Each structure stands twice: as structure tokens, then as C-alpha cells.
Structure 1
Amino acid sequence: MKWWPAFADWRLSTRIVILSLALLLVVQATSLLVVHASIERNARNQVARELAIAERIFRSLVDQRTQRLSQGAAVLSTDFGFRAAVNSHDTETIKSALDNHGDRTGAKVAAFLDTSLKPLAVNDGETTLDAALLRQIATPLQNKDTGSQLAVIGGRPYLFVMVPMRAPVLIGWILMGFPTEQALVDNLYQLSGARMALQAVDSAGPASIVMNTLPPENLRDLLKAGLGVTEFRSQGDTLIIRHLSLSVIGGELDLLLLHSLEQAVGPFNQLQLTLLVITGLGLLLFGLGSAWTARRVTTPLRSLVEAAERLGEGHYDQRMEHMARRDEIGDLANAFDRMRMNIAISQNEIQQLAYWDRLTRLPNRVRFRDAVKEAIATRQEVNLAQRSPLAVVTLNLDRFKHVNDVLGYALGDRLLKAVAERLLIQVEHQEAAVVARLGGDEFAVLLPTAGAAAAMAVAQRIVRSFEIPLTYDDQTVDLSASIGIACWPEHAVDVDALLSRAEIAMYTAKRNTTVTQLYDAALDSSSTQTLSLLSELRHAVQNHELRVFLQPKISLKTGEVVAAEALVRWQHPTRGLIPPMAFIPFAEQTGFIRQITLWVFDEVARQWDSLQPAAPRGQPLRVAINLSTRDLMDPDFPAKLAVLLATHGASSASFCLEITESAIMDDPLRAETTLNQLSELGFKLSIDDFGTGYSSLAYLKRLPVDELKIDKSFVMGMGNDPDDGKIVRSTIDLAHNLGLNVVAEGVETAAAWELLRELSCDEAQGYHMGKPMPVAEFPAWRERWLQRYETENLS
């Protein structure tokens, strides 16, 4: 909208008037358009009704003409001389009688047919038909006492009637054909008011209008528009067409009924004109009222603008005008006056807030950046040989959010103050060192005289100082942090690059759990790739590049396919199929795993019905979906799943949600709340990779889980390692004692299958039975598996 900036620069009074008029104009224009559309819709409905009536009138006229012509043909069948000629097979007399009767009745075709519809005599009229065509015309009429048949002969429509001749049994048929006359369509126009055009097509030529009631200019425009259209414009009018395809022999015959739309709209034109006049008067009155209101508002505003300009120049001694008013202008003037009195105090507070952290009394990010910038500038002023290095150490506390959530923000603030004090102690012997809080749980240290080795030594001292826990109100808090180091000029030559690279090193340390990390150029590439991967993952979800694969779970007792685990694969447009280990860990680090989890659940729920043919008899196929720590920490996660179930009509009982022990133990209280909500919704819950974490069995008993899934590392090794076998056996016994189902993953050999059966394990999952496969291939795989199971007699 290129006009908007210019409009925004106009005076307020002008904009008030224009916007008021524009709004009124939009409302009135919308009303006029709605009225016009309603009128046209009603007019079209009226035209459609009138054309339907015209169709019924046309059929009635044809029926009346059929009855008259049938009566005329019946007269010949009762003629004594004609009957005598028929009985004596006197062809010449029969033909003469047909000629005479045809001349009297206007029939152009007259024929006598035997009982098998073979022509015995045909008149010498101007239209001559062969025996095959006469039989084709007579066939549909021989079972009707009265009736007619249309036929196209020589590009002209004919109406045929046929009457039986009995003595007293049937001895033949009299068939007579009459050309359709202009009088028929003229009568239709007089009775219905609808124009008509009759289009005929025979086997020997193109379509043509054989008769019509259209004015020449309308006919010309119709032919120009094409006979197949449903409406066309002609002479400033819109003509609506109703097509009626008539049953004919020897070609095609279409009846076109036409009616004027403008004629139906005409009675409403005065109403629309009246509405336009009312709209014009309303705009005039509204414009005058808006101009008066705008002037009342803008005059005092101009005086307040002048006062604001004085405040901007630093003149705070003059009181505002219009403070005595009791309306919004008076409120604004009083607000300006209060602002005038508080600006001086605010200026001092702003200076303090701009450079110092109020909680720890340390320099903030802005002040710290200035300190680093000044230190770099000082070194750049001396000779290259005399320049000493400097280092920036950035620090981020681990699990600080967890401390805030569990112990409260007040204790979190005390913890931040304690961290600041310990940092100051560790650098008090470093010359000109600066400690700052960059924000949240992130701190930084400037070491103006330290290189990489000295900075690493300081970082190690900081780490050791954090090994001493803090105690507040009988609450002991363990401190730990991730630390990144970047040096000038080794790693960067300007302040922003130096700070950025120190933070890159810090986040690398946090991601790799290495505590401290010195910046390396390779980390920049990793950071760039990470940003690219996140963008590509978002693009993959939006553009349906992700794919759901299913890996079956088999009952060890029956061999039935009772469940399947949903696994995600990424079909990248240029890199092909990307395995989950290439992007799932990153998605968990960034939190994007939540979108992927919801996408997988939505996709499985959408295809839920198509999976049921693969279900075991009598029960739905159960699909397992993996949840991450991020999912359990989301308080809205259960509600999101409930919405997806309702959207696709799927049952929660058909889903099993798999959670790792580590995901639960990151925040047990939050995880327990989420799992209880999911269980109440009807979801089955499973502990994945059981045996690899450090969860308390007492705590595990409190969780609403239905299943334990033994980690594949134990299952794959139980044949060779007795300890792994003992872990598998004890886990199965423990789960059964707790009333839980047991699934063993990583079953890759027949020996492992048999051993698990002997240990009474419930279900197995692994390459021995089936690899992960696309959803579409799952039903066919199940059939192959059942055949294989029966053949190998695994049961």
C-alpha cells in the first residue's frame, strides 16, 4: 500500500474525516452489493422457474399435437376401402390411400407396416425413407396405444405417430410423419413468454437452428457465443438458457428455452437507485459531522504538541495548558504535566539501569561490551609487538531453571548473587578483570592481561569453586556451569565477534557436557550447520518431507502382530532418506522435537483406519510413539493429543506412548503430572530402554505405566553374556510382578526369539521379524509374516 505512508503524514483532522467517510462508504457499498447480489439471485431463480414452466408447456403442446395426429391416423385405419385393400394385399390401393390421407392431414411420410414392422406400402411424399429407418422409428411406438416419436430427417424435425390396424387381431400398423412447424414454437412463446430455438443435427450434416422465436440480433449473438452456453449477452441484456435434449431418431434435437435476466431484474432498479441517493446524502451529512468533531479534537492537541516540544528541549518549568478540562484531552494534559515533573528523576534511573544489573550489582551486557571494546581499542593504539592478548570467559549455569521451578525465584535470585560473589573472588588477583551478568543465568569475565592458557586456568578455578554446594534455609543446591573462552586477537579482532565466539564455545561445552571449551574455528561451522538444520527441519514439517515408518511388535505366545512402533524418517529433497540419528538429537536440544512428536502423532492418527486391516483379530492395532523430555515438560501436551484424536476420530486406547527413564528423571514431578493426565485420557504408557537409566523402582511403581521395554543392548547380548541374560530375566519377572506387559527390542536371531519365549516375555521387536517399513507396506508384510510363522512353526 504505497499510499499509506503519505496518508499517515496528513493532518489528524483530515485523516479523521477521510477515515469516517471511508468506513461509511465501505458499509454502504457492502450493503448495495449485497442487495444487488440478492436481487440478481432472486431474478435468476425466477427465470429458472419460468423456463421450467415453459418446458412443461412445450411438452403439453407436443402431447396435444400427438393426440390430434393419432386421431387423424386412426380415421384411415377404420376406412372400409383401406381395410379391404389391406386384406387383399392390394399395394397400389394402399399406397393411393396413404397419399390421399397424407395430403388431407399434412403428413409428409405415410406408410403401412406389417406386424413385423416391414413396410408394405409408402406414400410418394416429398420425404422418402428406407425400410430400416421406418422400422427404427416404428419400434419404440409399437407398444404404445398413443404416443409419438421425434426424428430428424434431412436436417428437419418430424413428429411420427403410429396406430394399430386390427381385424380383429393385429394385421398391421399405420405410421405417419409430420414436419414440426413454426406454429409450435410461436404458440410456446405466446403461452409462456419464453423465447425458443430448436437445434437439429442429423447424421449427414452439422447442427443448425431449424426454427426459433428469437429476434435476429439475439439469434446472431447466440450463434456467436455457441449453442452449448447456459447464458450469453445480447443487446445489453443477459439471456438465460435452459437446454432440453429430446429423444429423437436419425440425429439429435435440442430445445433451447431462453429468458431475459434484465426483464426479471427490472422491477428492482428503482429500489437500487433509491439506496444510492440515500448513500450520497449520508456521506454528505457524515462528512460535515466528522469535520466538526475533528476540529474539536485537534485544536487542543496542537497546543499539547507545542508543550511536548518544549519538554524535548529540556524546559520543564512551564505547566501544561488544558489541565482543567474534564475529558480525555484534560487527562492527557495532566499526564504530560506529571511526565514533566518525573523526567529528571527518570533520567538518573535510566542511566543506572542502562549499565548495571540491579540484582547482582555487576555490570550488565551493555557495560561489559563497552569494557571489552575499550580494552581492544587500548591495545590497537600501541605497536603490534607490544600488544598483549586479552580473553573473554562466558559462563552459563546448568539446570538453573529447574532450581527456580522447584525452589522458587527468591532462592534463585540468592543463588545468582552467590555466583557473582564467587566469580569476583576467583578474579580478584587478575589485573583489571571485569565480572558482568549478561542476563538470566549467564555471566562473563573480561581478563585484559590473559591469553588462552591463563584464561583456561581461571575457568578451572571457577569450576572448582562451584564444587562447594550452597545451603539456604536447609536447602542444599549443587552448582555447575558450562564455560566458553575466546581470545583477542587469536579468535576475533572486534568486540561483537569476540563475545559471539565466546558464547559459541560456551554453548558447545553445554551441549557436549565438557564443562569448559576454548573457541575453535570449527565451532562456527557447526553453529552455521545447526541453524541450517533447524530451518530445514521446519521446512520438512511444513512441506511433508517427514515419513512415518512402522516396526512390528509380535506376540511371543501367538505370533500375532499386536502392535507397531512409529518411527520418523526424513525424505530430504536433495540428500535422500536421512536416518533419525542425524536430526533427532538436535531436535531434542532445540526443543523442535515437540513439533516432530505432534506431527508423528497426527500422521498416525490420520492413517489409523487404514492400519486396522493389519490388526489382530478382535482388537485394534496398537501403535507406539516415542515421547521426549520436552513433551513431558509441556503442560499443554495432553490437551494437544486429545484435539488430534478428536480431529481424526481415533481411539486413545490404540496408542502406546513410550518414555525413557532419563526423560522422567529430569523433572519427576512434572513428568508424573503429565503421565497421569495422559493415562486418564486412555493412553497406554511404556518405559522405553528400561535398565539403562537410574530411576528409582519405588518411584517407578507410582507411575501409571502399562509396559516395560527392555533395552536392546541387553537383549542382543543375552545369548553370550550371562549377566545380560540375568538382567533380562529379572526385568521380565519384575514387570510381571507389577502387572506390566514386557516388550523386548533388538530381537535379531531365532535363538533370541526362543529364549525370550522360554522367559515368558510378552512381545518382541527386532530385525528377526521385520525392519521399519513405510505405513503402506505394513498390511502386506503382516500377511507374509503370518505365512512365515506358520511355515517355520515358531509357535
Structure 2
Amino acid sequence: MQLRFRSLESRIVTLFLVLIVAVQVTGLMVIQRGIDANARQAISGELNNGAKVFRRLLEQNAQNLRFGARLLARDTAFVAAIGNNDEGDRATIESALENSGRRIKASLSMLINDERKITATTNPVQSAGLQKMALSMLDAAEAADGAIGIAIVDHRPFQIVAMPVKAPITIGWIVMTFPIDRQLANDMRQVSSLHTSVLTRDQQGHWLSAGSTFVGPSAQVVVDQLQALGKETPTGPFDLTVETAQYSARVMSIGEDNGQTASVLLARSIDESTADYRRLERWLVALTLGGIFVSALAIVFTAKRIAQPISALAVTAKRLEDGDYKVQIDSRREDEIGALAHAFDSMREGIAKREQEIRRLAYWDTLTNLPNRAQFVLLLNDALLEAQRRGEGLYVLMMDLDRFKHVNDVMGHTFGDALLRQVAGRLQLLLANRRQSSAQVARLGGDEFAVLLPAAGLDAAQLMAADILQALETPLSLEDQMVDIGAGLGIAGYPDHSDDGETLLSMAEVAMYAAKQRTEGPVVYDAAMDKSSAKSLSLLTELRHAAERDEFRLYVQPKISLETGKVVGMESLVRWVHPERGNVFPDEFIPFAEQTGFIRILTRWVLEKSAELCRELTSRGHHLKVSVNLSTRDLLDQDLPAKFADLLTRYKLTSGSFCLEITESAIMDDPVRAQHTLERLSAMGLDLSIDDFGTGYSSLAYLKRLPVNELKIDKSFVLNMENDVGDTKIVRSTIDLGHNMGLRVVAEGIESEAVWRLLADLGCDQGQGYFMSRPIPADQLFGWLEKWRAPVAVATPVVEVDVSCAK
């Protein structure tokens, strides 16, 4: 029976085992404490009873002594012998004392006369030690017809009885003693099962043993432990250790004689007292261990009943994760786990159905029921492996329908979907008629289709491509409408071009776009076609890296008032300092940035740098209007006005700080959205300028509605004005048109003083060009402003401006 660490089964077993063991051990400890407390309480009771029993033994001995002494004191012959008081009667008295003492086991018998002197004794030595105690008891004995006391002689305690002899007056006293020694202790041991030690304590506090049921050194150990307790003798039970055995003991005082005390120590073996309890305790331990073992088996069984089905469900879930939806789940149990298994089984069926539908949606086109691009790539890769194994060729045909976007725009998407279904059906019919059972047609997306031709050569692929184009050239009839479509078709194959499916498909796509440009029928892929694509991809990557690595530089070209020679503004331009190519001219990357959408990042960068420059110019006393070019994508950005407002706020600039230049073609790509954006920018107070005016295709009527402030004449008309009368006429007409519309006119491309003079005579407001300054780095503008001098004929102060760009 193995349990995996940290598994659900092991956690259940561990938890319940810990709980059961804790409960059982706690109960056992409580019982043990109860047993110990009950044992102590029982021992204490035994010691109390033992003290009563010992006192009772002393009383019985005293009564025996008293009875024996009374019998002798009332014996007529004994009384007569005492009364005669001659030598012959003295032997009779001593014999009577000895015989009477022997009967009652007295250790000493003596006679004290009426003069209170010892006249006869059975033990002269002991009599001398007891004389004082005996004489002190005579008055009490005469008054109470006998007296009992405790005497200590040579550190040994004795019971002493004094009985008066009367005839009828008191003529003497009989004194008898009984030793309190080991014999009495043994009697106590037999009666009560208590170890008994008779002890005396002298005036200095030293304990001495007078008799004990403990044998040999054990008796002395008891004395030593009592001595170690000090002068204060415990009044209640206390523990003793005798030869590794534990005893509960009690000391009882039985008398005092001349500063010495006589005591009895009663001791009960704890081990003997708790023997029955210990047997019960061992049974309890055995029952506890047995209960834990049985509980452990039950817990393990229960845990397996719970955890194993869950583990099986976990394995099933793993197989479901791996895509195996045929696994069977046992849901026959009627409990909650059975309900969980049933829910798992229902989930398995649901997931299988949904995944089947997802696969259909992922790999099949729902409109035409043809394989989609993902499925086509899988089929292509499989066909490539088979072609490599057999040493055969394989070709891919990719086509893109002509004029499909126009059909969608004019007839609607529903009509376009029906058109795509007819094209798919026509392609399938063509392959069936050509008995190309192994060929596969697919819709890759939009109006793009592809055909896979396994086991085919280039001639067969070109022949099939020609048949496809011919089939598509036949007009289609939809909803009483005849639709004439065509297609651009590209061809790529193995082993001529590539052995990778995705690459082969990409090559066919390149050839297809080349075919659409040439309109000369199907085109077979050529490596020369793909260089521009790779170059474009590389350029986009490098542009992104350039933004991240701060490789762009801001350049500016000053704008001059042609009438006064004042510097009134500047146009912001961007340059790219490539770490390997060096300076990259704008004509090389700006058009590509506009096509890919990267132009928005460039525009945002130019605006930020221009705002920084404008703020720095203002701080130095130069107030110039900054012109920035906007692309078509910038105009289509509906958030552009909000971005400008944020820029002006952050750099603390007024809206008059900027003039935004827009080309005519950018406006005409989406006139409605462009006009909406321009109106919002104009409402903010920004100047708007039409750049490269004269080269676009806008109508004057539409131009009149735009909220622009400035026209920039394209440099192609300005460069050769002094030599070409036609260019001069165009420039004059443009200036007049701009002024008639209330617009400021700016000429770019001024490269000589003569062109400056000519433009000034024609009334042109401002100009920029190489004659005044080439585009220069932004950080060199301050030096240029200090050095700028207008032509001599133009009398004007240097670097005075009339437009502020600061608050």
C-alpha cells in the first residue's frame, strides 16, 4: 500500500490519522493522569487509615500493659508482700514482677514504694533511664487509677504504664514498659501492608531508627532522606525513593520525652498501589494502538475510495488535454464522485464536438467549404514529403481575382460571397474534368485561391494555369447580372524553387502579384521578383530599430519673408543617421513609412522634437512658426487634434506655434475624413498649409472649402522661373489665386537671388531654398540665425519675426 507524497489520498490519510492519534493520545494522557491522581488519593487514604491503625495498636498494647499491671497490683499475696517489707518478701515481689511482665511481654517491670523509690526491678539498667519519666507519672496514675506515657531511653521509644497498689491506701506503684520497635512495625506491616519505621529525633534534630520493616541499608536510606528534608517535618504525604522504588510516606508523632520525639513513618509503595491501574493502562494502550491500526485501515480504504476515482479523472483530463476524446469514464457510482464522473463524461462529449467544429472552422473555409490557408499548408507539407520520398515534382498555383473589390463596393458583400462560391465551384469542376483527383483547391482568404498539383512538372502546371485563367475569363451570371472577372496567377514549385511549404506559398504569392502587374497571364516565380520584398521587410525592421536607438535627427530649413528678409519660420525635416549606411535620405524611407503606417511614429517624433526646439527658441528670444508635414495616415487619425492639444499643453506653447503642411494627394485620398480632421485642427488655432500645390489633382471648388491658411508652390515650378516663361506664368497665377482666396503664399526651391527678386515682384509672401539655407541640424539653427543677412537690396533688421510661438 503506497501513498504518493502530497497526493490527495496521502493528505486525507495523514489528516485523519493525525486527528485520531491526537484524540487517542490525548484520551490516554487524561486517563493516565486520572490513574495517577486516583492512585495518589488511594495511597493517601491508606496512610491515613494506617496512622489510625498504628495508634490503635499502641492503645491495645497500653491496655494490655495496664490490665497486666492492674492484675498484679490487686493480687493479695503481692500486696501483702509489699506491706510486710522484709527481705523474704522482696524475692517474692521480684518474682511476681518478672512473671507478670513475661505474661504480657513487657520489657521492664518495677515497683516504686510509697516513698517513691524503686524497690524492685527486672532490669536495673533500664529502670535507671525510666526512673524520671516513671516518677512524673505517679500522681496521674494515682488520680486516674493508672497512667500511660511514652518514654525514650537510649534513642529507643517505650510505652510506659504506671498503676497504683492500694491496701487500701496507696502503698506503692507498679511500672511496666513495652518497647516500640521492629516487632510492632512488623505487626503493623502484617495488618496494613504499609512499611513502618519507628524513629526518634533528638534535641539536635538528628533522626535515628528504632525499628523498621525496611531491611538492611534501606532502613538507613529512609533516615537519610528524612534528615535531608530539614528541621520541618512534612505534615502530609511526601515521596521517598528506596532502592529505585517509589514510596508515598507520612510521618506521625507518637510522643515526646525530655526534648526528644518519637515518630512512626508509614510508607506505601506507589508501584504496588498502581499495579492494577498499570494493567488497566496497558490494556488501554493496547486498545488505543489497536484502534489506531483499525482506524488507519479504514481511513486508507476511505481515502482510496475518494482519491482513486479523482486520480482516474485527472488521468482522463490529461488524455483530454492531449486530444484523446475516446477515453471511457466510469460514472456508475451513485455518490458525488459518480456525479463528477458523469459531468466529466458530458464535458468530454461536449469538448469533442466543439473541437470537431473548431477544427472545421480552423481548417475549412465556411463560405466555399474549401480548405483554408492553414489546411492548405498542411496538405502542401504532406505532399512535399511524399514528393521527396518518390523523387517527383510538385507545383502550387495561387490566384487573386481582378476587380473583386469593385464588385463588393457596387453590388454588396452578399453578392461578392455568391461570386466567390461560384469561382470555387468552377475551379473544382475544372479539376474534376481534367481528372486531377490528387489536385486540391483551397481558398486562402479574401479573393485569393490556390491549387496544389502533386506529381506535376512545370509544363503541366503552366497548362493548368492557362486553363484556370480561361475558365475565370468566362463571365459569371449572378442575380441576372453578368460579371466579368479575371485573375492574376503565380506559379512556384518543388524542387525548382523551395522544399518548404510556407516558403513555396510565399513565392507563389510573389509571382501572383507580379502577374497582376504585368497582366500577361500566369507568371512563374523568379528570385529577382523577391528582392524588393526582402528589402522592404528589412527596411521596416531597421526603421523600428532606428526609433528605439534614437537614430533619427531633426533638421530645419528657415522660411524668409521675401519682402522684408525677416526670418518668420522654419520647416521641420527628419534625417536618418544609419550606423552602417550613414545618412539615409528621406526619399528612401518616407514613402515606405507612409505605405506601412510607420509614418505616424515619425510624425509624432518630429512634433515632439519641434516642440522642444520651439520652446528653446522662445527662451532665447526667437519666435518662429514651425511647419510640420502631415501624411495621409495622419489625417485619417481622428485623435490627431487631441494629441496636438496635449503636445501644446506639455510644452506650454500656443496653437499659433505650428503650421501643418498637407499635400493635395493626401487630402483627396479620403476628402470627407480629411476635411473633418482639418476643421478640428483649424478650430484649435493651428495654421494649415497645402504643400506642393500645383502637382495634385484637387478641384478648386473643393479646395475653397478647406480651412487652410497657406499655399506652398512646388519647387518644380520655381527652380527654372528665370529661364522658363511658362513656369513664371504658373507661379504668378498660383500667387494670385492664393491671395484671391485670402491665403499666404510660400515658394520653395529658391536657389538664386534672381528668383528671390522675381518672386518678390510677383507678390509672393515667403520663401525657402538653398539660396537662403540648406536644411541644417536643429542645434545649428541658433548660429545660423546670428549670421543671417538678407540681400543688400532688402533693407530689414536681421532676425525679426512677426509670429509668436510662446504663451
Shorter-chain TM-score bucket reads 0.5 to 0.7
- Conserved in 2, the CA contact under 8 Å of 1:391 and 1:452? no
2 CA distance for matches of 1:639 and 1:470?
50
Deviation at 1:417, TM superposition (A): 4.6
% same residue: 49
2 CA distance for matches of 1:478 and 1:658?
42
Q: Deviations over 1:575-626 (max 9, x none)?
A: 322211222222222211111110111111122122237877xxx3111111
- The alignment status of 1:704 with 2:718, answered yes or no, reads no
Partner in structure 2 of residue 242 of structure 1: none
Which of residues 677, 681, 686 is equivalent to 2:684?
681
Secondary structure class of the residue paired with 1:583? helix
Show structure 2 runs of 5+ residues with no match.
12-302, 798-807
1 CA distance for matches of 2:414 and 2:639?
28
- Conserved in 2, the CA contact under 8 Å of 1:389 and 1:489? yes
- Conserved in 2, the CA contact under 8 Å of 1:570 and 1:579? yes
1 CA distance for matches of 2:566 and 2:480?
58
Which of residues 588, 597, 600 is equivalent to 1:594?
600
After TM superposition, the structure 1 = structure 2 runs for residues 345-364 of structure 1, keeping only pairs within 5 Å, are 345-364=353-372
2 CA distance for matches of 1:14 and 1:560?
90
Alpha carbons of structure 1 residues 467 and 525: separation in structure 2 relative to 1, 3 Å: same
Q: Deviations over 1:176-227 (max 9, x none)?
A: xxxxxxxxxxxxxxxxxxxxxxxxxxxxxxxxxxxxxxxxxxxxxxxxxxxx
- Conserved in 2, the CA contact under 8 Å of 1:423 and 1:462? no
Secondary structure class of the residue paired with 1:554? strand
Alpha carbons of structure 1 residues 736 and 322: separation in structure 2 relative to 1, 3 Å: farther
Deviation at 1:333, TM superposition (A): 8.4
2 CA distance for matches of 1:323 and 1:664?
73
- The alignment status of 1:627 with 2:630, answered yes or no, reads yes
* TM-score where L is the length of structure 1: 0.52
Which of residues 428, 450, 466 is equivalent to 1:444?
450
Deviation at 1:574, TM superposition (A): 3.0
Show structure 1 runs of 5+ residues with no match.
1-8, 16-294
Partner in structure 2 of residue 269 of structure 1: none
1 CA distance for matches of 2:759 and 2:467?
50
Partner in structure 2 of residue 728 of structure 1: 731
Partner in structure 2 of residue 221 of structure 1: none
2 CA distance for matches of 1:603 and 1:526?
32
After TM superposition, the structure 1 = structure 2 runs for residues 114-125 of structure 1, keeping only pairs within 5 Å, are none
Alpha carbons of structure 1 residues 641 and 342: separation in structure 2 relative to 1, 3 Å: same
Letter in 2 for 1:444: A
Partner in structure 2 of residue 411 of structure 1: 412
Deviation at 1:451, TM superposition (A): 3.4
Partner in structure 2 of residue 365 of structure 1: 373
1 CA distance for matches of 2:691 and 2:702?
16
Which of residues 781, 788, 791 is equivalent to 1:789?
791
- Conserved in 1, the CA contact under 8 Å of 2:398 and 2:508? yes
Q: Deviations over 1:13-71 (max 9, x none)?
A: 999xxxxxxxxxxxxxxxxxxxxxxxxxxxxxxxxxxxxxxxxxxxxxxxxxxxxxxxx
Root mean square deviation, CA, Å: 4.7
Secondary structure class of the residue paired with 1:607? helix
- Conserved in 1, the CA contact under 8 Å of 2:563 and 2:794? no
- The alignment status of 1:531 with 2:537, answered yes or no, reads yes
Partner in structure 1 of residue 398 of structure 2: 393
After TM superposition, the structure 1 = structure 2 runs for residues 539-618 of structure 1, keeping only pairs within 5 Å, are 539-612=545-618
Deviation at 1:685, TM superposition (A): 1.6
- The alignment status of 1:714 with 2:721, answered yes or no, reads no
Alpha carbons of structure 1 residues 452 and 547: separation in structure 2 relative to 1, 3 Å: farther
Which of residues 488, 494, 500 is equivalent to 2:500?
494
Alpha carbons of structure 1 residues 599 and 364: separation in structure 2 relative to 1, 3 Å: same
Deviation at 1:568, TM superposition (A): 0.3
- The alignment status of 1:342 with 2:350, answered yes or no, reads yes
Secondary structure class of the residue paired with 2:555? strand
Alpha carbons of structure 1 residues 317 and 12: separation in structure 2 relative to 1, 3 Å: closer
- The alignment status of 1:653 with 2:665, answered yes or no, reads no
2 CA distance for matches of 1:723 and 1:322?
99
2 CA distance for matches of 1:600 and 1:13?
66
Letter in 1 for 2:773: G
Secondary structure class of the residue paired with 1:359? coil
Letter in 2 for 1:451: L
2 CA distance for matches of 1:777 and 1:545?
18
Partner in structure 1 of residue 314 of structure 2: 305
Alpha carbons of structure 1 residues 354 and 540: separation in structure 2 relative to 1, 3 Å: closer
Partner in structure 2 of residue 738 of structure 1: 741
Deviation at 1:560, TM superposition (A): 1.4
Alpha carbons of structure 1 residues 450 and 338: separation in structure 2 relative to 1, 3 Å: same
Structure with the greater alpha carbon radius of gyration = 2
415-424 or 686-695: bigger deviation: 415-424
1 CA distance for matches of 2:671 and 2:723?
35
Deviation at 1:746, TM superposition (A): 1.5
1 CA distance for matches of 2:600 and 2:6?
48
2 CA distance for matches of 1:525 and 1:456?
27
Q: How many residues are matched?
A: 490
Deviation at 1:712, TM superposition (A): 1.4
Alpha carbons of structure 1 residues 500 and 414: separation in structure 2 relative to 1, 3 Å: same
- Conserved in 2, the CA contact under 8 Å of 1:320 and 1:337? no
2 CA distance for matches of 1:511 and 1:725?
39
Alpha carbons of structure 1 residues 477 and 392: separation in structure 2 relative to 1, 3 Å: closer
Which of residues 654, 674, 694 is equivalent to 1:671?
674
* TM-score where L is the length of structure 2: 0.52
- Conserved in 2, the CA contact under 8 Å of 1:614 and 1:621? no
Deviation at 1:377, TM superposition (A): 5.3
After TM superposition, the structure 1 = structure 2 runs for residues 491-530 of structure 1, keeping only pairs within 5 Å, are 491-505=497-511, 518-530=524-536
